[in-house]
Amino acid sequence: MTWNLNGKEFENVVHLPPQKRYEYFVKKVADWREVWSLWNDGWVLMGDKDGDEMVPVWPHALFAEASTVGEVAWL
């Protein structure tokens, strides 16, 4: 079961620098032992500049959900 992520925590995390967001991710995943990803007739994948594919994951469903709307500045 996922923790109750409030709007203030969400906004604070979104505005953290990349290293701090990563540390937040690792802590939450370790604490709650779950990750969230996106499914659309298969797992949603991202690609890097070399063409390698990866599955993006987030520590809470709200972060994954937010990445589906508009431009996502933290990616």
Domain residue limits at 39: 7-66
Nearest to 58 by CA among 49, 50, 67: 67
Q: Which structure tokens are listed for 16?
A: 């953290």
pLDDT score for 4: 94
Residue 47 belongs to what H/E stretch? strand 46-47
Digitized pLDDT (tens) for each residue of the chain, 75 residues in all: 778 999 999 999 999 999 999 999 999 999 999 999 999 999 999 999 999 999 999 999 999 999 888 765 555
Nearest to 68 by CA among 47, 46, 42, 38: 38
In 10 A of CB 1, how many CB atoms?
Answer: 5
Bridge partners, residue 46, by sequence: 54
Give the total number of structural domains in the chain: 1
pLDDT score for 20: 98
Confidence (pTM): 0.82
Asked, for residue 1, whether it belongs to a domain, the answer is no
Asked, for residue 49, whether it belongs to a domain, the answer is yes
- Phi then psi for residue 10, to 5 deg, are -55, -50
